[in-house]
Chains A and B, each alone.
Chain A
Amino acid sequence: KAGVTQTPRYLIKTRGQQVTLSCSPISGHRSVSWYQQTPGQGLQFLFEYFSETQRNKGNFPGRFSGRQFSNSRSEMNVSTLELGDSALYLCASSPWTSGKDEQFFGPGTRLTVL
């Protein structure tokens, strides 16, 4: 089975711009979660989507948003970029057939905001 794929792998933007990141989960997985990873804060949960519905949300401002499509692919959008948004954005998918399903991560998109 192919793993979780994320595009693009690297992105450079300037302050004030917006960005859209894409994630394709493992085939058959219905849950997609997004995380932000920075050296100072570690891995922080952004949000989780299941069957096109946002099921959980972390403590991030409204500039961070996401959506999931009927084929389980997901996108996240960050508007009005700030320097502090520079990070590795990770997507993880899970089959979510029971509460103990593990999450499998993609390679991430490294976003640099100048």
Chain B
Amino acid sequence: QKEVEQDPGPLSVPEGAIVSLNCTYSNSAFQYFMWYRQYSRKGPELLMYTYSSGNKEDGRFTAQVDKSSKYISLFIRDSQPSDSATYLCAMKRGNKLVFGAGTILRVKS
């Protein structure tokens, strides 16, 4: 079993939809939680960074962490075609960063 599980998709939504991306994890030692966005042929770009349970909002993006359930989510409001990318969750324990497989998101205009 992988430490971090993420559905690879693809997830296809119409423009303007609310998108929900999720990851589960098995190791309670993870302390920090991140979401990265990766466009084709580019390196991952950090979107959100949280280290406690609860919600963190930044513009159209909301990151949610539930440590008791070992579950994290990224919500994208009013999705745009420019949001089409692969979204990677990542979790850190000590110095080690572990990534999920990434979810391919396609927002259709």
| Chain A residues within 8 Å of B, Cβ to Cβ | 4, 33, 35, 42-45, 48, 55-56, 90, 99-100, 102-108, 110
Contacts and interface: CB of A to CB of B under 8 A. Distances in A.
A110 B34 CA distance: 24
Contacts of A33: 97
A17 B61 CA distance: 44
Given A56-B95, A100-B32, A107-B43, 5 more contacts: A48-B95, A100-B31, A105-B36, A105-B46, A110-B41
Q: Which of A4, A103, A107 has the most CB of B within 10 A?
A: A103
Interface stretch (B9-17, B18-26, B66-74, B98-106): B98-106
A46 to B, nearest CB: 12
B31 A99 contact: yes
